[in-house]
């Protein structure tokens, strides 16, 4: 059964088309990764699914029902973890979760049990009487999640839930996502951290300029670019690097500079290694190391969009 | 139920905010105490008058005026005969004496330094009374001299004039006055907190979570407004209670009606705050506008000093302040038992509230999200 079905969804802001005739489905039990650079239309799509924005065209079905016509049903089954912390600093952790869970019709003993359950799930049961202003960034993020799951939604939308937190909290949240999925929740997950998406998502959509440009499992996405290889060359200094002249070498498809590392994406069918090294020597670029990398999601994203996800 | 849930959350957080508590509770109480004490003299209804010293010269060869002098002495009016070394007019001019009386067979002449002085007026009144009595005696002598004695000795009265105040003992003292005007001013300041009811949700990003929940925008709006109304009402009731218990402020015999008028003012203030928050683009703008408006309304509405009988353009300006109407209404209800005085204030409040609420509701319907 599909938890989410999007058909021909379009959203315009004046003349700007943020989401352009998008269609996709998310099946029950999936962790669906949503990848896109800033301004690609990812947040607009998520906001339309969560009912924060109205679409200009198209249909969103949640659990088989039209979300626009069955707004209450759709919202009852969605848990939204927004990118920005959406918690009240002047209420305790317990009160925050209780207030938001109460909006979903939970009352009395059931409400209290669900609140405790949610706080325990995110590891904040010992801090239930504390105010968020005494929390670390990771703890606030976990409270942000607890506020979205206490009503046991079928579909949880997580928009960049690990932004700006320490590795320990990040691992905690990623484990929580897996656990929620094991408990039967379907999850839509967006992140700038490609390795996170690669690690936990069962299926991924890459969105660019309001359109889905690739969709599938990570293996399927990587197979798109099996005709290319990545060459990482570390140099002493990148001052003299001329990206355009490297791109001009036969077979080179994309070049990206990351500190002293030059990442060259090249056609596997063209043997151009000698020419690349010759270019570096002629440009007086001192090579420190050279390695050929297997394609990953970042390579896929770069190849498909021509942009790096994090450096927007 | 969600409306109550949202309202209760608002009330709870309002009372946890120490700034709100200070502004809505401590600030008015301190202001009442300071203004009520500092300006208490301007609200007195008695005027102390010292003993009056008068020079006189009696050439009437009659004993009548001496009797008057003896009687006046009991009231603290001291007459001193003019001696040859004294120029009585100069003495009065130099304010060494409050007046100079010349008594001749032709009549009586009074010199005072300032015709408008209280002492001069008292002298003038007493001497007029004396002359009137003398004239009456003369007339009786002409017609029936045998009845003269009985006319003045029988049931002699000194209370020919009975002073009756239109509102006996019902004028607001300084604390009574400032309890009213500071309370109504603080109610209007309630617009400040209500202006951030929706904006704060947007700033904290909780607006998205509220909209993502199965709660209608109208429920969020009503819950927010209701919470703010209850918080403000509780604060006002506490201020009234405090002023009544500790400052002995007079809130009259129609406290229910007074609170009802204040409640309409609270509705107006909350609506104004929330309406302005939708009319302006930045989060700071409504607070600046409200601060300016309340300051001007307070100044011209008599919150800082009493404005008696304004005239002309100044009267027009004072009438533009909603505080003028509500202060006048409450004062009349308390001190004149005039409950109908509430009608203009209530009408102004509810009409203004309706306009601001309409602005807010229409803007909210047009917006995506809160």
Q: What pLDDT is recorded for position B166?
A: 47
Chain A CA closest to residue B216: A72
Q: What pLDDT is recorded for position B38?
A: 85
Q: Strand ranges (DSSP E) for B25-130?
A: 52-58, 77-81, 99-104, 107-112
Q: Does A147 touch chain B (CB under 8 A)?
A: yes
Chain B CA closest to residue A53: B368
Q: What pLDDT is recorded for position B45?
A: 57
Residue A188 β-bridge partners: A32, A157
Q: A304 or B155: whose pLDDT is higher?
A: A304
Q: What pLDDT is recorded for position B216?
A: 94
Chain A CA closest to residue B206: A86
Question: Chain B partners of A149 at a C-beta cutoff of 8 Å?
Answer: none
Contact yes or no for B214 and A53 at CB 8 A:
no
The residues of chain B that CATH labels 3.40.190.10 are: 52-153
Residue A266 β-bridge partners: A229, A252
* B 187-246 → A contacts, CB under 8 A: 204-206, 208-215
Contact B181, B302 (CB under 8 A): yes
Q: Does A50 touch chain B (CB under 8 A)?
A: yes
Query: Of B12, B16, B209, which is closest to A80 when you measure between CB atoms?
Result: B209
Kindly give the confidence (pLDDT) of every residue in chain B, 370 residues in length, as a single tens digit, with 9 standing for 90 and above: 899 999 999 999 999 998 888 888 999 999 999 998 888 777 765 566 778 889 998 888 777 788 888 888 888 888 998 888 888 888 888 888 888 998 888 888 888 876 556 777 788 888 888 888 878 887 887 887 777 777 666 555 554 445 444 444 567 889 999 999 999 999 999 999 999 999 999 999 999 999 999 999 999 999 999 999 999 999 999 999 999 999 999 999 999 999 999 999 999 999 999 999 999 988 899 999 999 999 999 999 999 988 887 888 999 999 999 999 999 999 999 998 889 999 999 999 999 999 999 999 999 999 888 8
Distance from CA of A49 to the nearest CA of B (A): 9
Q: Distance between CA atoms of B342 and B333, rounded to whole angstroms?
A: 7
Reading the block at residue A115, the tokens are: 């609140």
Note the pLDDT tens digit of each residue in A196-219.
898 999 999 999 999 999 999 988
Q: Which residues contact A273 (CB under 8 A, 6 or more apart)?
A: A231
DSSP characters for A240-283? T--HHHHHTSTTEEEEEEETTEEEEEEETTS--HHHHHHHHHHT
Q: How many CB atoms lie within 10 A of CB A112?
A: 14
Q: What pLDDT is recorded for position A309?
A: 59
Q: Which among B114, B112, B35 has a CA at the least distance from the CA of B77?
A: B112
Chain B CA closest to residue A55: B368
Average pLDDT value for chain A: 91
Question: Chain A partners of B205 at a C-beta cutoff of 8 Å?
Answer: 82, 84-86
Question: Chain B partners of A91 at a C-beta cutoff of 8 Å?
Answer: 9, 12-13
Question: Chain B partners of A71 at a C-beta cutoff of 8 Å?
Answer: 214
Residue A58 has pLDDT above 80, yes or no: yes
Contact yes or no for A99 and B16 at CB 8 A:
no
Q: Distance between CA atoms of A249 and A246, rounded to whole angstroms?
A: 5
Contact yes or no for A103 and B214 at CB 8 A:
yes
Question: Chain A partners of B209 at a C-beta cutoff of 8 Å?
Answer: 80, 82, 86, 100, 147-148
Contact yes or no for B205 and A80 at CB 8 A:
no
Contact yes or no for B204 and A102 at CB 8 A:
no
Distance from CA of B13 to the nearest CA of A (A): 7
Residue B13's Cα: distance from chain center in Å?
Answer: 35
Question: Chain A partners of B13 at a C-beta cutoff of 8 Å?
Answer: 88, 90-91
> Full-prediction pTM beyond 0.90?
no
Domain B52-153 in CATH: superfamily? Periplasmic binding protein-like II (3.40.190.10)
Residue A148 has pLDDT above 80, yes or no: yes
């Amino acid at each position: 059964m599909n938890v989410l079905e999007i058909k021909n969804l379009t959203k315009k802001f004046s003349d700007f088309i943020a989401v352009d005739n998008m269609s996709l489905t998310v099946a029950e039990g999936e962790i669906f990764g949503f990848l896109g650079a800033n301004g690609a239309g990812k947040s607009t799509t998520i906001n339309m699914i969560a009912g924060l924005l109205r679409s200009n065209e198209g249909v969103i079905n949640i659990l088989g029902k039209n979300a626009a016509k069955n707004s209450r049903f759709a919202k009852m089954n969605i848990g939204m973890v927004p990118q920005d912390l959406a918690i009240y600093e002047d209420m305790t952790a317990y009160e925050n979760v209780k207030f938001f869970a109460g909006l979903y019709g939970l009352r009395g003993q059931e409400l209290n049990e669900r609140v405790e359950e949610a706080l325990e799930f995110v590891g904040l049961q010992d801090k239930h009487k504390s105010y968020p202003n005494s929390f670390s960034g990771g703890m606030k993020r976990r409270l942000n999640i607890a506020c979205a799951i206490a009503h046991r939604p079928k579909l949880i939308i997580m928009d960049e839930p690990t932004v700006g937190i320490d590795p320990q909290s990040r691992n905690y949240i990623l484990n929580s996502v897996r656990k929620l999925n094991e408990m039967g929740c379907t999850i839509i997950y967006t992140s700038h951290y490609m390795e996170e998406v690669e690690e936990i998502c069962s299926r991924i959509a890459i969105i660019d300029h309001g359109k889905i440009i690739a969709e599938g499992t990570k293996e399927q996405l990587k197979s798109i670019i099996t005709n290319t290889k990545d060459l990482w060359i570390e140099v002493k200094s990148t001052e003299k690097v001329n990206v355009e002249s490297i791109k001009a070498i036969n077979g080179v498809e994309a070049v990206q500079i990351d500190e002293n590392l030059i990442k060259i994406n090249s056609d596997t069918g063209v043997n151009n290694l000698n020419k690349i090294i010759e270019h570096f020597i002629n440009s007086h670029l001192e090579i420190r190391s050279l390695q050929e990398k297997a394609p990953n999601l970042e390579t896929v994203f770069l190849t498909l969009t021509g942009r790096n996800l994090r450096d927007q | 139920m969600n409306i109550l849930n949202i309202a209760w959350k608002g009330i709870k957080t309002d009372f946890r905010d120490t700034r709100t508590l200070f502004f809505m509770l401590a600030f008015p109480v301190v202001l009442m105490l300071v203004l009520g004490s500092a300006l208490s003299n301007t609200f007195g209804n008695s005027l102390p008058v010292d003993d009056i010293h008068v020079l006189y010269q009696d050439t009437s060869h009659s004993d009548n005026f001496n009797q008057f002098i003896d009687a006046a002495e009991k009231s603290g009016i001291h007459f001193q005969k003019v001696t040859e070394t004294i120029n009585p007019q100069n003495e009065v001019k130099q304010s060494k004496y409050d007046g100079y009386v010349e008594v001749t067979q032709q009549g009586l002449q009074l010199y005072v330094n300032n015709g408008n002085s209280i002492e001069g007026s008292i002298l003038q009144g007493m001497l007029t009374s004396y002359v009137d009595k003398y004239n009456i005696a003369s007339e009786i002598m002409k017609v029936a001299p045998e009845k003269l004695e009985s006319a003045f000795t029988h049931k002699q009265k000194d209370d020919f004039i009975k002073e009756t105040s239109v509102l006996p003992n019902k004028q607001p003292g300084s604390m009574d006055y400032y309890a009213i005007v500071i309370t109504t001013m603080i109610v209007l300041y309630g617009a400040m907190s209500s202006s951030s009811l929706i904006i704060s949700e947007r700033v904290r990003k909780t607006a998205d979570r509220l909209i993502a929940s199965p709660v209608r925008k109208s429920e969020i709006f009503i819950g927010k407004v209701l919470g703010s109304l209850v918080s403000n009402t509780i604060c006002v009731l506490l201020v009234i209670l405090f002023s009544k218990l500790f400052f002995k402020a007079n809130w009259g015999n129609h406290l229910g009606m007074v609170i009802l008028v204040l409640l309409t003012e609270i509705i107006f203030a909350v609506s104004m705050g929330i309406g302005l928050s939708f009319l302006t683009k930045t989060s700071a703008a409504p607070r600046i506008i409200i601060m300016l408006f309340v300051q001007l309304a307070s100044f011209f509405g008599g919150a800082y000093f009493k404005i008696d009988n304004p005239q002309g353009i100044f009267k027009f300006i004072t009438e533009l302040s909603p505080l003028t109407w509500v202060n006048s209404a409450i004062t009349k209800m308390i001190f004149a038992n005039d409950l109908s005085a509430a009608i203009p204030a209530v009408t102004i409040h509810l009409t203004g509230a309706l306009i601001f609420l309409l602005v807010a509701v229409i803007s909210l319907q047009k917006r995506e999200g809160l």
